[in-house]
Structure 1
């Protein structure tokens, strides 16, 4: 009987210790998330953003590549399609509290370069700077991009913003080790529809 009581006492102690460790892990994860959010907020507050006027796709790509070679650590790309039917990204490349923003027309080589940087992989050589002009339907192309990016990362977040006119927009972001891909926001009449 004494052995059974000791076994139960040891089991309870182990359970309590495990429970305490789980609570500590949850608290640590919460603190990490809160710390990351605080850093993001501080970075947004102190961020120096420099917009680069378009100077040709090759020059814009070289500027991006030079920033990466100079130690830029974070890349944010937002996918779009222009009036000529070319896919492009608005990019922001950051080092510390400075961000360079610009527009880069896409082709397969440039897209592969951007994705390699985002994933922390070896950067491929880019020799072609002319955009692909095969995009015929914006929504289909953006859906293909989203499907491709979803295969590369499971970490996503969504952000809802509402205009003064009451129109809401939901944007999905795909997070990588060196930045994120932001898809164009979808208009929504009521964010609570997502709860149904």
Structure 2
């Protein structure tokens, strides 16, 4: 493995960690309804666990309501059961061939819990970024110690600096995402 490959893999791993955080933050409830809240709920559809978004059209008719219209009318009850069992604290109301979810206003205490969860997710992502940096630096040290490759110490040191710059950039992005989501949760 050469220096460029190590840098590239470290950058890709950091990008993936930030992308994962973005996806997770979409599922955190804020003051208004969002389809991301229920998209990935697993529904037992004829014996296989399937994402709700693959089984139904999910819309936001009002700021505090989600409307779920399953493509297969026979799966309405299965979808409602999956939403109820998802642990979101939502009570699905079956209305013919569709499901309505009314999202109650968040209490101040619940908002603080959600903000704590968001900060914890951000910290987990930063830990992942630091682990990536540690692994990349270990690989660079191995390359520097391998006398058969003739890699100058300056190249190894400058590559470590590049990795440090990448982690600073990604940690800043994580902090911005966490702050943005926290403000969104606090909005009434």
TM-score (norm 1): 0.26
More strand by share: 1
User: Which structure is richer in relative contact order (CA contacts within 8 A, separation 6 or more)?
Assistant: 2
